[in-house]
Amino acid sequence: MTDVSPKGGQLLDPAAAVLDSTTGLIDRALSALKVKTVDNGKLSNAKLDGFQLVSYELSLCWAECCAARFMLDHARDCKDDFTSRLCGLFCAEAVTAVCARLRARLADFELADADISAVLTAHAPFLNSQLNAASIAAIGADVIDRGADLGPDLLAERYIMMRDTFHKFADDVVMPLAEHVHRQDLIIPDAILEALKEMGVFGLSIPESYGGLQEDDKEDTMGMIVVTEELSRGSLGAAGSLITRPEILSRALLKGGTEEQKQHWLPQLAVGEPLCAVAVTEPNYGSDVAGVKLKATPTEGGWLLNGAKTWCTFGGKAGVLMVLARTNPDPGLGHRGLSMFLVEKPSSDGHEFEVTPDTGGKLTGRAIATIGYRGMHSYELFFDDFFVPADHMLGGEEGEGKGFYIAMAGFAGGRIQTAGRAVGVMRAAFERAISYSKERVVFSHAIGDYQLTRVKLARMAAHLAACRQITYGVARLMDEGKGDMEASGAKLFTCKTAEWVTREALQIHGGMGYAEESPVSRYFVDARVLSIFEGAEETLALKVVTRSLVENAA
């Protein structure tokens, strides 16, 4: 099929122009929101909470435009015709989606219909050329011909080697086991775990001086993202999330641990002995970490833990738990009354476990049944006078009351890593959708011959490419000590997009997509968790993204 859209570089300047105009609308809406929510020069959380729908919508608008900006920068750098066409399509779709979102509530955003019309009219030639059915279908035809090749990724040589290594591992080891793990709700098998230990993945976030693979004087977020993406492509639950917990704990140790604790724990974590888990969320406190209630009471030689945690992923298999507890019962102290503990326990493969150490007390765990993300198993934990030695408080005596800050340091890379996981799941679904579109025949034609299938695949490719580039771009920023805000936007946009991409892949499969024997059904239910963990999208949008955007608005 002949491509009827403008070629390559001809698209990038008009894409940038319409993106600038649309970003201007968002900036105006943010400035209007700032006027309503600032008291004496300071943002009022109470007032901002009075505009939650506006805040949520503006966060989505900003995140989508942010992805478009990273995609545009990438297209300029790589000078590849196909990449530029994907970029043109994505920018056009992002702009029209944002304008529709703003137009739906003009008064709330303090915009006029003429403001939206001015942008759409001024850039109509570009938008019309990118959004007509023939143009999109032409991209879809190329997608089918290319297989899942989204164009140059411009990775450094070392990352290409890492990607190729773990791509092969996902194909050869993870994928053959993934369906069985998911359908039987099994723990991750040793065939995956032991091989990954040998490959050194648990040391990706640990400096070389502590036995890891990371250079001592710089972080390597990009390496972590590349590996995470490939493992998640194999299976989110059986491989893609394995690096997350050691990354969180190692960051927490490096931020707040004593030198003795670093020397003791980091070399062990680097080789996956023991495996670890994070116990922060409670039945009534998730993203609101400052409200944690689990009590730590001082006793001779240490502390007694009492209370419950939930959604402790990999809590059974783990040999050490990073547990956030309240060491000062004064509720007025809020997050300043929290401390972090390293709790050792035997590893368990079961859906339930009970630990009764010689030091007294009890720790029990029960796996929570979930529709997807199987393999890791998330547990409810119950601590009953469970003893933790004093030297297991992170930071030692000086760490008391600093648990919240240590937790935040630990979670710093979690959002962008989750974006990488989302990209991996999307890639798996995208590859299956392309393959099925060639194989499935309906009315004497492969479904990939039909315009609507090609349009679906083109749109999936454009969104996946944008998600990948915002993830890679933010990883580079974070390795320079920047990009925290963009990481939140990347997490927000990629995880929401993953639900749509996997849904479209399932839809292309028709009835077979709904069958458990088809991998796309697993991708669909796995993708659903991405917008929930590492910061639910609503909390991320309202408490992180919009707050920062409003504070920095003109």
The pLDDT confidence band at residue 288, using thresholds 50, 70 and 90, is low
Q: What is the pTM of this model?
A: 0.94
Task: Assess contact for 458 and 136: CB atoms under 8 A.
Answer: yes
Q: Count of CB atoms within 10 A of residue 288's CB?
A: 13
Looking at residue 2, its pLDDT comes to 40
**pLDDT per residue as tens digits for the range 34-92:** 999 999 889 999 999 999 999 999 999 999 999 999 999 999 999 999 999 999 999 99
| CA–CA separation, 69 and 79 (whole Å) | 16
Could you give all domains of the chain from N- to C-terminal order, each with its CATH number?
A: 8-153+413-551 (1.20.140.10), 276-409 (2.40.110.10)
Q: Count of CB atoms within 10 A of residue 78's CB?
A: 17
Which two structure tokens, joined as six digits, stand for 467?
């998600």
Task: Name the residue among 322, 314, 488, 465 with its Cα closest to residue 417.
Answer: 488
Task: Assess contact for 364 and 355: CB atoms under 8 A.
Answer: yes
Looking at residue 286, its pLDDT comes to 56
**pLDDT per residue as tens digits for the range 471-516:** 999 999 999 989 888 999 999 999 999 999 999 999 999 999 999 9
The pLDDT confidence band at residue 1, using thresholds 50, 70 and 90, is very low
In the set 534, 537, 538, 551, the catalytic residue is 534
Greater pLDDT, 25 or 219: 25
**pLDDT per residue as tens digits for the range 390-434:** 999 999 999 999 999 988 887 877 889 999 999 999 999 999 999
Q: Read off the pLDDT of each residue in 113-133 and give the average, rounded to a whole number.
A: 97
Looking at residue 148, its pLDDT comes to 92
CA count, 13 A, side-chain hemisphere, 325: 30
The pLDDT confidence band at residue 291, using thresholds 50, 70 and 90, is confident
| CA–CA separation, 332 and 404 (whole Å) | 15
Residue 4 has pLDDT above 80, yes or no: no
DSSP label of 207? B
Looking at residue 5, its pLDDT comes to 45
Is 215 assigned a catalytic role?
no
The pLDDT confidence band at residue 8, using thresholds 50, 70 and 90, is low
Looking at residue 83, its pLDDT comes to 97
- Bridging pattern class, strands 276-279 and 320-326: parallel
CA count, 13 A, side-chain hemisphere, 303: 27
| CA–CA separation, 157 and 306 (whole Å) | 50
What is the share, in percent, of the chain residues with pLDDT greater than 70?
A: 97
Looking at residue 173, its pLDDT comes to 98
| CA–CA separation, 373 and 390 (whole Å) | 35
3-class state of residue 285 by DSSP: strand
Task: Assess contact for 15 and 126: CB atoms under 8 A.
Answer: yes
Beta strands in 47-172 (DSSP E): none
144-148 — which CB contacts under 8 Å span 24+ positions? 144/434, 144/437, 144/438, 144/448, 144/454, 144/457, 146/82, 147/431, 147/434, 148/427, 148/430, 148/431, 148/434
Task: Name the residue among 123, 38, 51, 48 with its Cα closest to residue 88.
Answer: 123
Residue 22 has pLDDT above 90, yes or no: yes
Size of the chain, expressed as the number of residues it contains: 554
Residue 55, CA distances (Å) to 26, 265, 547 in order: 11, 41, 8
